[in-house]
């Protein structure tokens, strides 16, 4: 039986930040689908008065791309702190960062065809069997990339020479994952039905000496709660036992900005509730923001 990693740390549940990225809204909102009190809190963000695209979320920060200036910047929605990056581009294949941008250990990985001279450049070298790159996350300073079939390639910028490594596994082709995230130093993937409409299976990546690996189905969520979404996913432990443990909150990837709630019971995921922000506005991107890291 494969279960979630043990943890002695209790986290606050994250919030959903409703980002009006398609139309350049300055008015955005925080949605609390967990406690639902207060349910919705509006906030003005002059920093977002132009169209932006959310590339990644983590550590309480958003990594955003301005569609007006093609500039790349971090934004903390809680403190309003903004950090600009020396980069201008209009398109990325995948972007990930290793730590809060206020940390000296923060490294930003951006995979694309173009590059800036002020950034370190490394060739993207994977084999012909590696499919379309879908997700990228950082774990212990190493970039993990996943293709559309669940296959994994890693990149370590601290090593010299060709630092790309494809992790071989016989069952990678059988797994097609929609979400990819880390928790307590371990990597998880989630297979969803349709357009973020239902949870099918949760997997944990098992590494053996950093060479062979396998996606193992998680059959025991312990006292954990998962928060999944198209712009980043995370997990928390030790939340309210009766209400939140062994639950999955799934932010839809569609204009309704809905959050679906699932119970985990004997290997099955049953939808028990739907939280909607449609009364506030449509066409907002729902991004999970970790409060404990803010």
pLDDT at 171: 61
Exposed, middle or buried by CB within 10 Å (0-12, 13-18, 19+), for 169? buried
Residue 8 included in any domain:
no
Residue 2 lies in a domain: no
Q: Domain for residue 107, yes or no?
A: yes
Residues 27 and 20 sit within 8 Å (Cβ to Cβ): yes
Whether 182 is covered by a domain: the verdict is yes
**Domain hosting residue 186, numbered range:** 15-289
What is the predicted pLDDT for the residue at 81? 92
- Within-domain flag for 175: yes
Using CA atoms, how far apart are residues 258 and 173, in angstroms rounded to an integer? 31
Whether residue 261 contacts residue 273, with contact meaning beta carbons closer than 8 Å, is answered with yes
Q: What is the pLDDT of residues 208-244, one digit of tens each?
A: 765 557 888 888 877 888 999 888 899 888 777 667 7
Q: Distance between CA atoms of 14 and 4, rounded to whole angstroms?
A: 18
DSSP label of 209: T
How high is the pLDDT of residue 101?
Answer: 93
1 lies in a domain? no
Could you tell me which residues are beta bridge partners of residue 275?
Answer: 259
> C-alpha dihedral over 46, 47, 49, 52, to 10 degrees?
-150
Q: How many domains does the chain have?
A: 1
For residue 167, the model assigns a pLDDT of 77
- CATH code of 163's domain: 2.120.10
In a domain? residue 45: yes
Residues in the chain where the model's pLDDT stays below 70: 1-11, 21-26, 36-39, 88-90, 113-118, 123-125, 127-128, 161-162, 168-175, 195, 209-212, 241-242, 277-283, 292-294
Using CA atoms, how far apart are residues 24 and 44, in angstroms rounded to an integer? 12
Within the chain, what is the greatest distance between any pair of CA atoms?
54
What is the average pLDDT value for the chain, to the nearest integer?
78
Structure tokens at 120: 């370190």
């Amino acid at each position: 039986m494969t279960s979630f990693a043990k943890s002695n740390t209790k986290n606050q549940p994250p919030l959903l930040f409703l980002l009006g990225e398609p139309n350049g809204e300055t008015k955005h909102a925080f949605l609390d689908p967990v406690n639902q009190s207060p349910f919705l809190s509006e906030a003005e963000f002059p920093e977002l008065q132009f169209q932006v695209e959310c590339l990644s979320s983590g550590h309480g920060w958003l990594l955003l791309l301005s569609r007006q200036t093609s500039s790349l910047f971090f934004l903390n929605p809680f403190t309003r702190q903004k950090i600009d990056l020396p980069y201008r581009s209009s398109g990325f294949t995948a972007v990930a960062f290793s730590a809060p941008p206020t940390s000296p250990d923060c490294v930003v990985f951006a995979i694309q065809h173009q590059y800036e001279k002020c950034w370190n450049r490394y060739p993207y070298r994977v084999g012909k069997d590696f499919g379309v790159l879908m997700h990228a996350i950082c774990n212990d300073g190493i970039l993990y990339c996943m293709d559309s079939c669940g296959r994994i390639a890693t990149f370590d910028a601290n090593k010299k020479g060709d630092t790309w490594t494809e992790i071989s596994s016989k069952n990678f082709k059988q797994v097609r994952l929609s979400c990819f995230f880390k928790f307590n130093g371990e990597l998880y993937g989630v297979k969803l039905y349709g357009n973020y409409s239902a949870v099918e299976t949760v997997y944990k990546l098992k590494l053996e000496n950093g060479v062979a690996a396998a996606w193992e189905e998680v059959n025991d969520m312990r006292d954990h709660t998962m928060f999944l979404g198209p712009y980043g996913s995370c997990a928390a432990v030790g939340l309210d036992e009766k209400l939140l443990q062994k639950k999955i909150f799934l932010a839809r990837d569609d204009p309704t900005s809905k959050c679906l709630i699932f119970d985990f019971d004997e290997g099955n995921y049953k939808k028990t509730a739907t939280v909607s922000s449609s009364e506030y506005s449509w066409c907002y991107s729902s991004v999970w923001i970790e409060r404990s890291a803010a």
